[in-house]
């Protein structure tokens, strides 16, 4: 039996008439339509020269056609490579130069800008715009509907997904059919997803969260999703009266909390709010519960592994934790220096193993060998601990750990204390080079606008609450923290920007 994710999806369809995707324009695409349209698209891909194992690189706006292209690529046995819509021509040249796709699909408005990069990478070009029109759609419409899905083994590649590049240059994670299917099925069970679910899909689809978590879980459940081109507060409030699930990054929840419309009544129809991609503040979790009666379910994953842990659907969703390992995924905490597993409760490197863990980094055998152990554990780069109930707590990224005067300082602990201070909206704590301490603990603070908030006031508030070595040597105020499209704080930019603070 083939392990092609499309075959497994197609076999799970019980109601071909049920709606899979709905758009704001009122278009409704049934599961039957999806199968037929992916058949046409797969034929078009083959006609454009795509063979099994080839990469199909895609930089397009969110549309139903883009999802069809993803599924059709799987049907054709090729490897789907979605790219952030914000990438510039130079960035695209790097990614497609690295991945060498057979085909590069982009917005018609960008052809002139990107043609040279495509040519250099040896890729043919096709176009697809935000409304789903373009040369690719034309080719699909002219093609036949029947397509014999190319058989794939569980460890054949289905996608090449580049990491967000938060800690350095993005790496291509090779994800297999087995990785994607196993994670979709385990999340379906973990979150009690059924065909009756209606997801408000407001995330981009070039990233694990919007593409694999949101889309795969919905499709593998026979559920439906309403596609919003982007995060749109008014639309979300409108849709909450007939939807059941929202998946978002923490900033979605922070923004919704700022709106007076958020209350028990407006969220009464919803059964689940999921957060991930970046840490959700415990305070946001508490405020959300107080206002709506719903406990946000926080989960933890990454490009290389899809999802690893989740707070339980039934059971305590603990604020400030990312929950328990998903069935089939092992999570351990090891000594970052030696790799030896640490006793329960201690902080160290989070490592994960399971059917969800990727096959390695594309064309980076050394990096793969350094981060993926022979015993199957992937060294995530995130630091954390597992509490006595088995819940995983993330304390930050290994690369953000501050070593000051020989002591380890975990930024999250300091940030949590600073965030409690009246007048502070949020904060990021970073290490800045310092001649005496090696690195100096430095707080970057976004004030709520309170005129009394000063550096001295923050330092005074932390006195007695944190050991001296953990207290910031300096506090700098900024109007907002730099974030990428997935809401992740870009601490590397902050470190670069403030690099000279102690010189
Ligand atoms: P790069 O690997 O290129 O530096 P990145 O790690 O930000 O970028 P992604 O794979 O998109 O790229 O993000 C995964 C990371 O996001 C995780 O390693 C973790 O640091 C963070 N993350 C995801 N979910 C959570 C969460 N619920 N709480 C805290 N951090 C999270
Ligand atoms: Mg990463």
Which residues hold their Cβ within 5 A of ligand 2, which is an ion?
Answer: 163
What's the ipTM?
0.99
Specify which residues 23 forms β-bridges with. 227
Measured in Å, residue 491 CA sits from the centre of ligand 2 at: 13
**Ligand 1 in reach of 490 Cβ (< 6 A):** no
Selection from 82, 60, 81 nearest residue 127 by Cα: 60
CA distances from 308 to 246, 302, 408 (A): 19, 8, 26
First and final C-alpha spacing in the chain: 64
Measured in Å, residue 342 CA sits from the centre of ligand 1 at: 22
Measured in Å, residue 206 CA sits from the centre of ligand 1 at: 15
**Ligand 1 in reach of 358 Cβ (< 6 A):** no
pTM check: above 0.90: yes
The torsion region of residue 149 among left (phi > 0), alpha (psi -120 to 50) and beta comes to beta
Cα 246 from Cα 250, distance rounded (Å)? 12
For atom 29 of ligand 1, the residue with the nearest CA is 279
Cα–Cα–Cα angle for 95, 98, 102, nearest 5°? 90
Measured in Å, residue 277 CA sits from the centre of ligand 2 at: 10
Cα 429 from Cα 462, distance rounded (Å)? 13
Cα 413 from Cα 156, distance rounded (Å)? 41
**Ligand 1 in reach of 248 Cβ (< 6 A):** no
Residue 54 and residue 22 in contact, taking contact as beta carbons nearer than 8 Å: no
CB atoms within 10 A of CB 83: 22
- Residue 304 alpha carbon, nearest atom of ligand 1: 10
Centroid of chain to Cα 293: 26
- H/E stretch holding 270: none
Instruction: Tell me whether strands 19-23 and 224-227 are parallel, antiparallel or unpaired.
Output: parallel
Helical packing angle, 177-190 and 5-12, nearest 10°: 40
Phi, psi (5° rounding) for residue 395?
A: -105, -5
Please list, residue by residue across 7-44, b when 16 or more beta carbons sit within 10 angstroms of its beta carbon and e when fewer do: bbbbeebeeeebbbbbbeeeeebbbebbbbbbbbbbbb
Phi, psi (5° rounding) for residue 393?
A: -115, 125
**Ligand 1 in reach of 427 Cβ (< 6 A):** no
Q: Which ligand is nearest to the CA of 321?
A: 1
Residue 210 and residue 201 in contact, taking contact as beta carbons nearer than 8 Å: yes
- Residue 381 alpha carbon, nearest atom of ligand 1: 18
**Ligand 1 in reach of 298 Cβ (< 6 A):** yes
**Ligand 1 in reach of 320 Cβ (< 6 A):** no
> DSSP string spanning 4-51?
-HHHHHHHH-S-TTSEEEEETTS-EEEHHHHHHHHHHHHHHHHHTT--
CA distances from 243 to 22, 226, 238, 246 (A): 12, 8, 9, 8
**Ligand 1 in reach of 12 Cβ (< 6 A):** no
Q: Which ligand is nearest to the CA of 303?
A: 1
> DSSP string spanning 398-416?
GGG-EEETTEEE-HHHHHH
Measured in Å, residue 302 CA sits from the centre of ligand 1 at: 5
Measured in Å, residue 303 CA sits from the centre of ligand 2 at: 7
**Ligand 1 in reach of 166 Cβ (< 6 A):** yes
**Ligand 1 in reach of 84 Cβ (< 6 A):** no
Helical packing angle, 455-462 and 411-419, nearest 10°: 110
Selection from 183, 214, 209 nearest residue 326 by Cα: 183
The torsion region of residue 165 among left (phi > 0), alpha (psi -120 to 50) and beta comes to left
Q: Which ligand is nearest to the CA of 207?
A: 1
Selection from 264, 150, 151, 243 nearest residue 199 by Cα: 243
Token pair in block for residue 482:
């730099």
Pocket test for ligand 1, best of 273, 401, 488, 495 (most atoms within 8 A of CB): 488
For atom 5 of ligand 1, the residue with the nearest CA is 164
CB atoms within 10 A of CB 155: 12
Residue 70 and residue 180 in contact, taking contact as beta carbons nearer than 8 Å: no
Q: Which ligand is nearest to the CA of 304?
A: 1
Q: Which ligand is nearest to the CA of 282?
A: 1
Specify which residues 431 forms β-bridges with. 441
Helical packing angle, 64-75 and 31-47, nearest 10°: 60
**Ligand 1 in reach of 302 Cβ (< 6 A):** yes
**Ligand 1 in reach of 397 Cβ (< 6 A):** yes
Pocket test for ligand 1, best of 251, 300, 400, 410 (most atoms within 8 A of CB): 300
Residue 169 has a pLDDT of 87
For atom 13 of ligand 1, the residue with the nearest CA is 302
Residue 460: partners with Cβ closer than 8 Å, 6 or more residues away: none
Residue 410: partners with Cβ closer than 8 Å, 6 or more residues away: 347, 383, 395, 396, 401, 402
Selection from 245, 238, 322 nearest residue 280 by Cα: 322
Residue 3 and residue 154 in contact, taking contact as beta carbons nearer than 8 Å: yes
> DSSP string spanning 96-157?
HHHH--SEEEE-GGGHHHHHHHHHHHT-EEEE--TTS-SHHHHHHHHS-S---PPP--TTSE
Residue 420: partners with Cβ closer than 8 Å, 6 or more residues away: none
Residues in the chain where the model's pLDDT stays below 70 = none
Residue 297 has a pLDDT of 98
Token pair in block for residue 481:
């923290």
Selection from 481, 499, 498 nearest residue 428 by Cα: 481
**Ligand 1 in reach of 163 Cβ (< 6 A):** yes
- Residue 380 alpha carbon, nearest atom of ligand 1: 18
**Ligand 1 in reach of 303 Cβ (< 6 A):** yes
Selection from 218, 215, 165, 172 nearest residue 486 by Cα: 165
Our separate counts of H helices and E strands in the chain read 16, 24
> DSSP string spanning 344-372?
TT--EEEEEEETTS---BTT-HHHHHHHB
């Amino acid at each position: 039996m083939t392990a092609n994710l499309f075959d497994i999806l197609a076999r799970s369809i019980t109601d071909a008439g049920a709606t899979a995707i709905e758009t704001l324009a009122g278009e409704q695409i049934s599961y039957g339509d999806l199968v037929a349209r992916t058949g046409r698209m797969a034929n078009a891909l083959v006609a454009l020269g795509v063979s099994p194992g080839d990469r199909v690189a895609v930089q397009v706006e969110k549309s139903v056609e883009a999802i069809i292209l993803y599924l059709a690529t799987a049907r054709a046995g090729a490897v789907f490579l979605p790219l952030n819509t914000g990438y510039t021509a130079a960035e695209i040249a790097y990614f497609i130069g690295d991945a060498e796709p057979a085909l590069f699909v982009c917005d018609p408005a960008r052809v002139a800008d990107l043609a040279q990069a495509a040519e250099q990478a040896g890729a043919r070009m096709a176009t697809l715009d935000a409304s789903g029109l373009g040369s690719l759609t034309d080719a699909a419409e002219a093609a036949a509907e029947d397509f014999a899905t190319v058989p794939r083994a569980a460890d054949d590649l289905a996608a090449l997904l580049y990491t967000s590049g938060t800690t350095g240059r993005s790496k291509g994670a090779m994800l297999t059919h087995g990785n994607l299917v196993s994670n979709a099925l385990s999340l379906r069970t973990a979150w009690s997803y059924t065909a009756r679910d209606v997801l408000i899909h407001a995330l981009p689809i070039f990233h694990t969260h919007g593409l694999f978590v949101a889309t795969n879980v919905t499709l593998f459940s026979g559920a439906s999703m309403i596609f919003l081109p982007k995060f749109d507060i008014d639309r979300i409030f409108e849709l909450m009266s007939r939807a059941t699930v929202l998946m978002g990054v923490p900033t979605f929840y922070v923004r919704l909390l700022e709106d007076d419309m958020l209350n028990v009544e407006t969220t009464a129809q919803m059964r689940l709010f999921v957060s991930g991609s970046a840490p959700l503040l415990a305070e946001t979790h508490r405020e959300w519960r107080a206002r709506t009666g719903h406990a946000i379910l926080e989960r933890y994953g990454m490009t290389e592994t899809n999802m690893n842990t989740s707070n339980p659907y039934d059971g305590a969703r603990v604020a400030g934790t990312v929950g328990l390992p998903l069935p089939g995924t092992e999570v351990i905490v090891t000594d970052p220096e030696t790799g030896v597993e640490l006793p329960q409760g201690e902080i160290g490197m989070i490592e994960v193993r399971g059917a969800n863990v990727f096959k390695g980094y594309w064309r980076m055998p050394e990096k793969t060998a350094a981060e993926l152990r022979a015993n199957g554990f992937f060294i995530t780069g995130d630091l954390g601990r597992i509490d006595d109930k088995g819940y995983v707590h993330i304390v930050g990224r290994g690369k953000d750990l501050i070593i000051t005067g020989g002591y380890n300082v975990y930024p999250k602990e300091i940030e949590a204390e600073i965030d409690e201070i009246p007048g502070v909206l949020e904060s990021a704590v970073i290490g800045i080079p310092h001649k005496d301490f090696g690195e100096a603990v430095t707080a970057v603070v976004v004030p709520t606008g309170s005129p009394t908030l000063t550096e001295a006031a923050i330092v005074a508030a932390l006195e007695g609450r944190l050991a001296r070595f953990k207290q910031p040597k300096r506090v700098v105020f900024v109007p907002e923290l730099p974030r990428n499209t997935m809401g992740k704080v870009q601490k590397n930019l902050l470190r670069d920007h403030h690099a000279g603070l102690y010189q």
